[in-house]
Chains A and B, each alone.
Chain A
Amino acid sequence: MTAHIVGRASEIAPGDRKIVDVAGRSIGVFNIEGTFYALRNVCPHQGAPLCLGSVKGTAEVSRAGEYVWGREGRILRCPWHGWEFDLTTGESVFNPHRTRVRRYRVTVEDAADSARDASVETYEIAVDDDLLVLHV
């Protein structure tokens, strides 16, 4: 696993995303309420650019006739066929154990320490304008 600096934390506001190309892969980096998540930008169904999809919540499994809205801001929906994935796990909503998209670890690193090259040990801190490091 190699660490790749993919930008600054301040570039991606909560609710926003950035698509990056790292190690030959297209990857979407998402900010959900200040925490960053990264998923492969390829839907496991038919190869669509998954990370260009909408990010909303979903109607969770419920009793017949009831609607329970949940996971607001965490559900990525494929722009082609509409399959839903939980951004925090990469798991699909309809079959979390068998249908999932590859998830990568993202860390936020102190910009002052950023003399480091792209193969460093990582640690997590929460300072506004620090570096986003993707572990692929």
Chain B
Amino acid sequence: MDVKAAPNPTIESAQAGASGAARRRTGIIDVDVHPVPRSPDEIRARMPMPWRDRFKGERRSFFLNPVHGSRLDSMPGGGPAGSEPDLLREQLIDTYDVAHAILISRTFCNIHPDPDYGAAIASAFNEWLADTWLTEYNPDGCFKGSITVAQQDPLRAAEEIERWAEHPQMIQVTMDSGARMPFGQRFYHPIYEACERHGLPLAIHPGTEGMGINHQPTPGYPTHYVEWHCAMSFSFQAHLVSLLTEGIFERFPGLRIVLVEGGIAWLAPLMWRLDPYWKALRSEIPWVRKPPSEYLHDHVRLASQPLERPNDDRQFMQLLEMVDAERLLMFSSDYPHWDFDSPTRAFPKLPDALWQAIFRDNALAFYELEV
């Protein structure tokens, strides 16, 4: 790819990037941040037997980034990236004046064939998040949490949602886009019913495609990490078409979904494809009572990272218009992962109203947050 280098930063901003010393007061919302336990023991301690005995902190074992999976400067004293709240605050919250960071744990719980094991991992991570990042490390209320569910057993997942729904800092539910079947299928209804009942959005996040019991979104397994990573956006497209055609937002009119880290550029052409098909084939799915794309505004939001940025900024601005970014897009950094998007460098300069919508207002309204 012929990547156009961004213009050189000023000395001031360069030093801010290197040292975190400078401040640009923006009060942005970052909807995808990944805190990590200092050690698997923090999770194990919150598991009942037999899971405590079994869990070794395993994550996915294939398609590991061959270079580095996280920013090398985000590993405090050699510990796991994203495991020290002080460093995360310095590198993300303070450097970019993040008013709220929405935390999504990377549990990899949905790769396991045993639904009880998957649920135990999700449950222990939720307890850990609530005990640490949402309370002990959160005196200012900056951090908001996501209730992780293992979708192998949607009834058990709904119980987990019940368990945390009233927690004041848990503001959404999350599950992985790696899956055995598209998300519109009725197997998943208990999860959607619980989200709707509690008014909690559901964030779908990638990373377990083709791992364990999950299918790859490609016709077969990809060979390389770069191929796998690029192809993860395919699963988001498949899940979205499934959600829209199966009428999930008619069955659960209060359900809201966030597509995190799945890309945005594909959205417009996918809807241009689906809407015309619906005109001819709507009788096959008669519960879809309006053009499928019309459900997006009321029910779906997209997180920005990894931002798909053409070399030509004019094309990028056209893309933002095509995907209705002013209403649907929410900024995310994916800190501390290797493909972190800097709040000040990932986007070109935007018109003020559009910047305000993407970096603040869309997320504030969607999550009903205050700053």
Where the two chains meet, the residues of A that have a C-beta atom closer than 8 Å to any C-beta of B are 24-26, 40-42, 44-49, 52-54, 77, 79-82, 94-95, 98-100, 102
Contacts and interface: CB of A to CB of B under 8 A. Distances in A.
Nearest to B66: A82
Interface stretch (B13-21, B127-135, B286-294): B13-21
B42 interface: no
Nearest to B13: A47
B18 A82 contact: no
B73 interface: yes
Interface stretch (B2-10, B32-40, B257-265): B2-10
Interface stretch (B52-60, B144-152, B191-199, B340-348): B340-348
Contacts of B73: 48-49, 52, 79-80
A18 to B, nearest CB: 15
B202 to A, nearest CB: 29
Given A80-B340, A82-B67, A42 B14 contact: yes
Closest 5 CB pairs of A and B: A79-B72, A47-B17, A46-B345, A42-B14, A49-B18
A81 B9 contact: no
Contacts of B1: 94
Contact of B71 (A40, A45, A80, A102): A80
Nearest to B2: A95
A46 B13 contact: no
A48 B309 CA distance: 18
A52 B345 CA distance: 19
Contacts of A94: 1, 3
Contacts of B71: 48, 79-80
Nearest to A19: B18
A79 to B, nearest CB: 4
Given A52-B72, A53-B72, A79-B73, A47 B344 contact: yes
18 contacts: A24-B15, A25-B11, A25-B14, A42-B8, A44-B5, A45-B345, A46-B6, A46-B17, A47-B17, A48-B18, A48-B71, A54-B68, A54-B72, A79-B68, A80-B71, A81-B338, A81-B340, A99-B4
Nearest to B67: A82
B345 A26 contact: no
B129 to A, nearest CB: 25
B34 to A, nearest CB: 15
Contact of A95 (B3, B9, B344, B345): B3
Contact of A82 (B9, B17, B68): B68
Nearest to A83: B3
A6 B22 CA distance: 25
A54 B13 CA distance: 23
Nearest to B306: A81
Contact of A42 (B2, B18, B67, B339): B18
B9 A98 contact: no
Contact of A44 (B8, B15, B346): B8
A79 B81 CA distance: 12
A41 B18 contact: yes
Contact of A98 (B4, B18, B345): B4
Contact of A99 (B3, B9, B11, B344): B3
Contacts of A100: 5
A53 B71 CA distance: 10
B17 A48 contact: yes
A77 B14 CA distance: 18
Contacts of A25: 11, 14
A40 B2 CA distance: 22
Nearest to A21: B15
Contact of B339 (A40, A44, A81): A81
A98 B11 contact: no
Contacts of B5: 44-45, 98-100
B178 to A, nearest CB: 23
A20 B316 CA distance: 37
A32 to B, nearest CB: 20
Interface in B337-371: 338-342, 344-346
